[in-house]
Structure 1
């Protein structure tokens, strides 16, 4: 059906048609016999909901503006109303353009985040813990759930590595991976370590990998390609925390990817958590390989899964946080570590949107 005012947004009609088709699918009782498909369709339907609302708002304002201009041509009293509608239509057009801009299809997924300590020994492990606590406070503040899948704690309370899932309570137009993906890369910290007796500032780093969590049906894994080892879970210092071989290590033989989990009580639960991590790692690897063969623009969109790139510095003496990708700098490091990441994430989202719209960073 033709909609007035949408000529400059050719993909808007496609979105309306897809949304209507998804609504019909969800109304069919048969779809709910397949929980995986039902979740996938429901997630996509919710994702498009905000776009459909923006399309309808823009089309409605376009209709109102056309009517106001006709009236203003006959009576100057309607000129101000037409001018106001023109400004509102322009703002609605900007919002609609942003929502229709090409985006990563994984943005509508939950996320699996892996943090590994790097240079700096125990100090790096403590910083890895700080990063986890920062993310945990931030996403829980949004009403999302954090689920620790695996961790390797150290004697001083840090983490050699930690893997956790971020899950939204319900589908929406902004999901965990779409928000957390900007965190992938090397995070550098500058501060006086708790182990430093002379008060000298040290620099250490931790790596973060952010992956979309995918359904089991989205990744085909051949059981013959897996080597599964079981072992006894252990805590800091090697002290046994389990009396059975419940921990699981899975090696994906074709790629060499190794994942392990020891946080659950049963071997079966640990195996399922490890498979969740493996599926996400396989998706992340496939995207890295695709990026290597793609254009520079595509590379920049997916490089957030690359842990080799230094993205951010946390300077404790100056209470400063700097994101090197976009030149963001603020002197509220204490607040950011307490979970107030809104300004930082907002700046990253704005830079990402400008890139997807083909605009210079910082432009409107």
Structure 2
């Protein structure tokens, strides 16, 4: 499904709604994960060149037609690739928004649904958004064709193909919702945010424009970095630490004076390079932090969820995880970082052991406390200000 580069086909004109890099020009890569059955569509997005994949999954239904899980930006290139699958396997019947809050997923659904008006749109319950709580109609969702995913998943019109489990946590000022869909025939679990796996090398979609990788591979503003495999890998691994920890322990922020002096001496002072400003430096042990995070590609729960969100309802989360772990999972497709993740039900369930006082199923594979420090300080500040609630005691 490769196509020649056509920049006009990468256009995403609604990027100002959620102004994330790469803004109005988004490439799409399509990959067949299960032959004739499951395809993933990847784009990138991020802030300050901290770019990670965002992923849509397309599944062929047993009765014909397609289900779309978590749409990405419907650029001309993306829609052309989808229509190649439609031509062989039938129309898009269902479009799923599997989360309740994130505008970075929600903003694509309405425009995507307009390209396939015959499709029914199903959304996670208790929709809201931050920082602006926009009604779905304002985001282009079809008023008549949009339905809430019910608690009783047997009522879903695609229940013959999928098991469904909805995690719906009331956070007081909003909700966190994760809709897990399990494609029974291929033993594939579809998730949005709860499970991640970090690859050692940068994903192919990130390498289409290597500039963000090379930017983060630099050790200082004074360095001119070569575009080679080693530097792209180095940049990706540092991006992963940024994206997951926000401020990893091995990152030192520079003093303002040094940052300005270095900017004047930088070999690249273009707007693309932020006029030479490079506000941080990595300590020597940063690679050990990445290796601990990756842990040979094991699936894990993102620290922001481990610290701020899931501890709000540990019993509810573990009940949901127990239900999902009864399915015969062989692979997980998540919306970010690596995918597919080869994983068993036991490996999925083990990722939530941090919510247990006495972790079962092989123990709790915890992340380094020093790298979690910034997120835990953020949690404490949010609790003190009344924005967040204290975590409930582990079970």
- Shorter-chain-normalised TM-score: which range? under 0.3
Compare the two structures and name the one with the higher helix fraction.
Answer: 1
Q: TM-score, normalised by structure 2?
A: 0.25
Whose radius of gyration is greater, 1 or 2? 1
